[in-house]
A and B are shown apart, each in its own frame.
Chain A
Amino acid sequence: MSDHIELSFPARPEFLSMARHLMGVAAARVDFTLDETEDLRLAVEELCLGLLDESLGPNVAVSVGVDLDTDGLTVRVRLVGSNGSPRQTPGGSGLPPSLSERILDALVDEHGESREDDEPVAWLRKSREHRNSGP
């Protein structure tokens, strides 16, 4: 399995529920447990909030890309349409960096920031835990 899902929504906190919903659907596709799914939702919410702040213009969108594979999924979050002037460093409405780091460390396997097409991208990776089979 190697599916890609892309979702864009206005860069405002009231639209974050769309990202949470996407994570619920994506996590079910790769057979995450409810614990893993809820962790993923919290992590993606923190990633998105880290990119949002009040200075963003009205036409800026958050793009959430999800790549599903047989072991889990990778999520990339970026801002789109920020007036051609990509943000140099993530700021936003998330937690202070040290606390954000700790929270994400606990919720996902890997996370970080990179640059793609000269734009900052926040990403995370979560894999299914090895577990006993169901009934």
Chain B
Amino acid sequence: MSDRRRGSDEHATSGRSPLDHASERDQLIESHLGLARHLAERYISRGEPRDDLFQVASLALVKAADRFDRSRGIEFSTYATVVVLGDLKHHLRDSAWSVRAPRRVQETYLQINGETDRLTQQLRRSPTVAELARACDLTHEEVIEALEAAQGYRAGSLEDASNGGSTLAETLSSTSEEHGATAFSEQIEGLDTTLATVLRWRFEDDLSQSEIAARLGVSQMQVSRLLRRALDELRGRLGRD
């Protein structure tokens, strides 16, 4: 079935929004699994297992179906493509577990990561474990377990880190600010530009991790890993006086 046909089918059943019938939602997901697989296959050359990519795409499809609001007048296939591609890029950016976590935990983390972004925008601050658990229909322990496992994600090289197309270095060059020669900037001199900037934003400009994440277009967890890496490098270079 073509996307155009699917679109016509969607509008033929319009009138309720968002989808309020489980069977309608399930049918929408089922009929677009081919689209999810097609989008996942675009990224097979990146080295991630085919099954993992398809799983990320499928979960994103479910998320798209849950959030689809037909009253906005766009076809589901269009909306789903945006959501699936976004989650695939998010996965590739953050993923590659340095310690292979169980699939269940990986899935939970992917779910939590998406909800964290959504809740951060909604609440204008980062969410608590309780709020994430409520939003994801998980227990507190499951959320904590997944967040712990997220520490096992490889940060990836700074060159690879991207916010949907641009590398962090490119993003930083477009948001660069002049900083005078402070004692702090002298202490972090010589660090990679990205690490130094993240340190300066957090410890000189007093931005929260979520605020830095929003500036860079990456997840708060990625900022956390960058900060840890920056501090580790500083400890290695400076040591104790």
Specify whether A and B are partners. Answer: yes
| A119 CB–B CB distance under 8 Å | no
* Contact bitstring B163-184, A, C-beta under 8 A = 1, else 0: 0000000000000000000011
Which bracket fits the contact residues of A?
35 or more
* Contact bitstring A21-53, B, C-beta under 8 A = 1, else 0: 100110110011111111101100110010000
Which residues from B are CB-within-8-Å of A99? 184, 187, 234, 238
| B42 CB–A CB distance under 8 Å | no
Do residues A132 and B240 form an inter-chain contact, with CB atoms below 8 A? Answer: no
Which bracket fits the contact residues of B?
35 or more
* Contact bitstring B105-131, A, C-beta under 8 A = 1, else 0: 000000000001001001111111111
**CB contact list, B110-168 vs A, under 8 A:** 116, 119, 122-132, 134-135, 140, 143-144, 147-148, 151
Contact for B220 among A38, A45, A131, A135, CB less than 8 A: A38
Tell me what chain A mostly uses at the interface: helix, strand, loop, or mixed. helix
B193 smallest CB distance to A (angstroms): 19
| B100 CB–A CB distance under 8 Å | no
| A84 CB–B CB distance under 8 Å | no
Do residues B227 and A42 form an inter-chain contact, with CB atoms below 8 A? Answer: yes
Q: Decide: A95 near B128, CB < 8 A? Known: A24-B147, A38-B224, A134-B123.
A: no
CA of A2 to CA of B134, assembled, Å: 25
B1 smallest CB distance to A (angstroms): 36
Do residues B202 and A132 form an inter-chain contact, with CB atoms below 8 A? Answer: no
Contact for A132 among B125, B132, B144, CB less than 8 A: B125
**CB contact list, A66-106 vs B, under 8 A:** 91-99, 102-103, 106
Which residues from B are CB-within-8-Å of A132? 123-125
Do residues B209 and A38 form an inter-chain contact, with CB atoms below 8 A? Answer: yes
Q: Decide: A28 near B220, CB < 8 A? Known: A35-B126, A95-B231, A135-B134.
A: no
Which residues from A are CB-within-8-Å of B143? 28
Closest 8 CB pairs of A and B: A28-B129, A134-B131, A35-B126, A34-B126, A38-B224, A33-B126, A96-B241, A35-B208
Q: B residues within 8 Å of A by Cβ?
A: 116, 119, 122-132, 134-135, 140, 143-144, 147-148, 151, 183-184, 187, 202-203, 206, 208-210, 220, 224, 227-228, 231, 234-235, 238-241
26 contacts between A and B (CB under 8 A): A20-B151, A24-B144, A27-B129, A28-B129, A31-B130, A33-B126, A34-B127, A34-B132, A34-B147, A34-B210, A34-B220, A35-B125, A35-B126, A35-B209, A38-B220, A39-B209, A42-B224, A42-B227, A95-B238, A103-B203, A106-B206, A131-B123, A134-B119, A134-B130, A135-B119, A135-B134
